[in-house]
Chain A
């Protein structure tokens, strides 16, 4: 019987079957400052080296400031964490893109950009949004710090094989909708635990038509449906993106690699444990209204009423969410006034996202009561955007143009919401307190966020003029 993309990558990485778990070889590990210090400390205590420094890449991203970087990090606790990463990278021989390196940025933006991520790989990072790299046909997933240490020491992980889940997407994305709306709508249907225990494979003509940036947005949020990973079979779009990247194979090796990558697509008779079809042709721009990414509706909807919930647990969920978000049932989503706009993150901080956002605000101004910022996903994204003049489009409209990092996606640096502030955000999580204690996050696409900044409230980008 045929095999799925996931099964092919899995099978290629089985070192041995141990008693009850598979020892899986890990081709690449990305390391950032938040989830790695205890792992390196563990190695140090046990006197163990890093097994393959050449398969490891470190970068500080969560704590880095997005302004005035040349002056260093003012918060001493953040500074210590970033310095610790630098020191560990040096001591263990791990390559690092330091804070002021032009290649620095969010782990999940820089690795594809460099060609560090390649099809058919296993790739891990102490970060749940590692699922992003599945867009290349890699098996990529987030792990905890103990497993970070395990991979550093052994280049392997002990794993139970997840199940496979095919999501087949058909229909052309309507004007005004993006991969972000698509993935939010999928999570809305699946729920935040609908993918638990599965590796999702996104397939179908709609997925084939997406750019690599859009595919990364889709796979990035697979974790928000609870999935172990999201994957997309590599094709000509993938190869075109990767060709001539600094770490991509070259010459004859490139041709050999492409031939191997072309064989990764799922076989026609492959079996999936679960399948779902999704018609993208009627998709409407999405806005989250609650405190997890599954609490999402089309922008044309109203805030839901807990009283109409089917059971006590979901009634309580909706009620808690509305209390935290300061929302009343029945309020039209496009009437919600916002205070802040954040464009960036590993979900939507790539060049295509910035181009899309810029395209809807050209020649307009941010509403007087709104404070808006753009944080490119990497130094190279920032440089490219500046080459295209996007920084001027944003600045002239009244957006702040910042330096790269995770920034207000989780607010470990000074970029945070104040209590009660309502934010249109292109990030991936609207959990309580995620962007700052008491902050209220609504997840949207880059164009929806940019338009909301100008209008001062959410708008339906399809009809907004």
Chain B
């Protein structure tokens, strides 16, 4: 996983609440057995006209002023619905590295951290202001510093944000969770031995 430290990039606003993972990446693209190549299908039903090929000029991410965006600004409960990690894979493949919203759905939020994407929770009024500012200024950039836990606006307004220290560390260092967990291998064995005594039915071969 690519580490996330600092990001200074153009922000794009998607002004909708409860954007679900079916909207982020529709089902027909879940048939892949790879992680890459999903960016072209990100927000597919909104991004393309009914022919499925021609970009819809109305959709934010198709507009010239948001070209090269790496930061999404959106509304509450972003990423609700299915657990498909294809959603963060599609965002990442498109180039998105940070998402600013008042709230996120649990599984999506968690999946972001496994893929080097930083989801930042900001207050409703801060998000409201971002929507106004981005609308008013072509090329509006936001600077994010994960180590300092700050979001800095072009006029140097600086907001701090909360993040769980463990998730922050993993993201800053681009850590592989599995390797980390395997350092506790002996603990897992000890746990299994103890549980076999307490609840042996959990360890019986179920003979499928």
Contact = CB atoms under 8 A, between A and B. Distances in A.
B67 to A, nearest CB: 25
A78 B33 CA distance: 10
A313 B18 CA distance: 11
B83 A128 contact: yes
B85 interface: yes
Contacts of A21: 166
A144 B111 contact: yes
A391 B110 CA distance: 42
B120 to A, nearest CB: 16
Contact of A34 (B30, B187, B207): B30
A137 interface: no
A404 interface: no
B27 A149 contact: no
Contacts of A77: 31-32
B191 A149 contact: no
Contact of A46 (B31, B164, B169, B178): B178
A226 B177 contact: no
Contact of A253 (B17, B198, B201): B201
Contacts of B201: 118, 249, 253-254, 256-257
Given A19-B166, A247-B208, A253 B200 contact: yes
A84 B181 contact: no
Contact of A226 (B26, B105, B187): B105
B181 A154 contact: yes
Contact of A260 (B32, B80, B199): B199
B158 interface: no
B111 to A, nearest CB: 4
Contacts of A411: 27
B81 interface: yes
Nearest to B108: A144
B63 interface: no
Interface string A113-152: 0111010110000111010000000000111111101100
Nearest to B166: A20
Interface in A56-89: 57, 62-63, 75, 77-78, 80-81, 84
Interface residues of A, number: 84
B132 interface: no
A266 interface: no
Interface stretch (A175-183, A331-339, A368-376, A427-435): A427-435
Given A15-B191, A154-B182, A126 B106 contact: no
Contact of A433 (B45, B76, B167, B199): B45
Contacts of A316: 15-17
B82 interface: yes
A193 B27 contact: no
Contacts of B32: 77, 81
Interface string B15-28: 11110101100111
B84 interface: yes
A130 B32 CA distance: 22
Nearest to A46: B178
A442 interface: no
Nearest to A228: B106
B114 A18 contact: no
A306 interface: no
Interface stretch (A35-43, A269-277, A377-385, A392-400): A35-43
B188 interface: yes
A222 to B, nearest CB: 11
Interface in B39-76: 45, 50, 75-76
B115 A146 contact: yes
B202 interface: yes
Contacts of B203: 54
Interface string A1-35: 00000000000100110111101010100000011
A48 B85 contact: no
B106 A150 contact: no
B97 to A, nearest CB: 17
B31 A247 contact: no
A116 B206 contact: yes
B27 A15 contact: no
A431 B23 contact: yes
A25 B195 contact: yes
B208 A95 contact: yes
A364 interface: no
A119 to B, nearest CB: 10
B164 A226 contact: no
A196 B106 contact: yes
A192 interface: yes
A257 to B, nearest CB: 5
A15 B178 contact: no
Interface of A: 12, 15-16, 18-21, 23, 25, 27, 34-35, 37-38, 41, 46, 48, 54, 57, 62-63, 75, 77-78, 80-81, 84, 95-97, 114-116, 118, 120-121, 126-128, 130, 141-147, 149-150, 153-156, 158, 160, 192-193, 196-197, 226, 228, 246-247, 249, 253-254, 256-257, 260, 292, 313, 316-317, 320, 410-412, 419, 429, 431-434, 437
Given A62-B30, A126-B85, A433-B45, 6 more contacts: A23-B188, A25-B188, A75-B31, A95-B206, A160-B164, A433-B26
Question: Which 7 interchain pairs have the tightest Cβ spacing?
Answer: A20-B166, A95-B208, A146-B114, A144-B85, A37-B33, A249-B201, A144-B111
18 contacts: A12-B199, A38-B34, A46-B178, A54-B205, A80-B31, A95-B208, A141-B107, A143-B83, A150-B177, A156-B188, A193-B77, A257-B201, A292-B20, A313-B75, A317-B17, A429-B81, A431-B81, A433-B23
